[in-house]
C-alpha cells in the first residue's frame, strides 16, 4: 500500500540515520543546521556516516545532491566535518569557492595523529585538484586573515615542492602517470 507521492510516512522521522536514503540523510543534516540544536562537533559523526562508501552509485548521487545545496549549507557541512572528510567533501562540491578552501585549510589535525603532514597534504591535494588558482587564492586569503595554523607554512611549502617535482618529472617523462597521495 503506497502513500501519496512526495509525502513522508510517519515512521520516517524515527528511522536511524544510517538506514535513511542519501537524500534523507542530507535533509536531516540541513534540518539539524537550521534548528541549531546540535553543535558542529555533534554533527561530525553524521557527516562521516554520510560519506562512507557502501554502494557504487552513491558518489554520483552525492555529487548531484551537493550541487543543489546552498553555499551556506555547504560551508556549514565543511565547518562541522573533520579534517579527514574535507578532501572528500571538496571533491563532491561542483565548484568550490575560496571560502570552502579556507574552511578546509583552517582545520588542524588532531594532536594524536601519527602522520599529520599526510592528512594536511590530502587537503592541499583536494583543493589543488579543484583548481591550482583556488589553492593560491585560499592561501593568500588565509595569510591576509592572519589565522594561519602553526603547521601551515612548512606543510604548504613542502606541498609546493612536491608539485614542482611532479611537473618536472611530467615534462621529462610525459608518458608516465604520476599518482598523488590520497
Grid cell, residue 80, equals: 562541522
- C-beta separation of 48 from 80 below 8 A: no
Which residues make Cβ contacts (< 8 Å) with residue 151, sequence separation at least 6?
A: 108, 109, 116, 117, 120
What is the pLDDT at residue 15? 67
Cell of 46: 553524521
Tens of pLDDT, residues 69-121: 999 999 999 999 999 999 999 999 999 999 999 999 999 888 898 998 999 99
Residue range 155-168: mean pLDDT, rounded: 92
C-alpha 110/C-alpha 29 separation (Å) is: 24
Q: Over the stretch 107-160, which tens digit does the pLDDT of each residue have?
A: 988 889 899 899 999 999 999 999 999 999 999 999 999 878 888 899 999 999
The predicted pLDDT at position 148 comes to 84
In tens, the pLDDT along 6-16 reads 666 666 666 67
How far apart are alpha carbons 38 and 29 in whole angstroms? 10
Cβ contact 148:105 at 8 Å: no
* pLDDT band (50, 70, 90) for residue 1: very low
Question: Which sign, positive or negative, has the C-alpha torsion 12, 13, 19, 22?
Answer: positive
CA distance 174 to 160: 20
Q: Which residue has the cell 583556488?
A: 134
Whole-angstrom distance, CA of residue 95 vs CA of residue 67? 8
Q: Residue 93 in contact with residue 59, Cβ under 8 Å?
A: no
Alpha helix (H) residue ranges in 68-175 = 71-80, 86-92, 98-105, 116-130, 132-145, 152-172
Residue 26 contacts residue 50 (beta carbons within 8 Å): yes
Whole-prediction pTM value?
0.84
Nearest Cα to Cα of residue 30 among 83, 68, 82:
68
Asked whether 5 and 17 are in contact (CB, 8 A), the reply is: no
Amino acid at each position: 500500500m503506497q502513500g501519496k507521492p512526495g509525502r513522508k510516512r510517519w515512521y520516517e522521522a524515527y528511522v536511524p540515520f544510517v538506514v535513511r536514503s542519501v537524500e534523507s540523510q542530507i535533509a536531516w543534516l540541513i534540518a539539524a543546521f537550521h534548528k541549531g540544536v546540535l553543535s558542529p562537533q555533534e554533527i561530525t559523526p553524521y557527516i562521516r556516516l554520510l560519506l562512507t562508501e557502501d554502494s557504487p552509485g552513491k558518489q554520483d548521487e552525492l555529487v548531484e545532491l551537493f550541487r543543489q545545496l546552498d553555499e551556506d549549507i555547504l560551508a556549514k557541512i565543511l565547518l562541522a566535518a573533520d579534517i579527514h572528510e574535507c578532501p572528500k567533501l571538496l571533491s563532491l562540491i561542483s565548484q568550490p569557492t575560496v571560502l570552502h578552501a579556507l574552511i578546509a585549510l583552517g582545520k588542524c589535525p588532531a594532536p594524536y595523529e601519527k602522520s599529520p603532514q599526510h592528512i594536511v597534504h590530502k587537503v592541499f591535494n583536494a583543493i589543488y585538484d579543484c583548481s591550482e588558482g583556488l589553492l593560491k587564492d585560499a592561501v593568500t586569503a588565509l595569510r591576509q586573515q592572519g589565522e594561519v595554523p602553526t603547521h601551515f607554512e612548512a606543510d604548504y611549502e613542502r606541498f609546493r615542492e612536491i608539485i614542482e617535482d611532479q611537473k618536472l618529472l611530467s615534462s621529462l617523462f610525459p608518458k608516465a602517470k604520476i599518482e598523488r597521495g590520497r
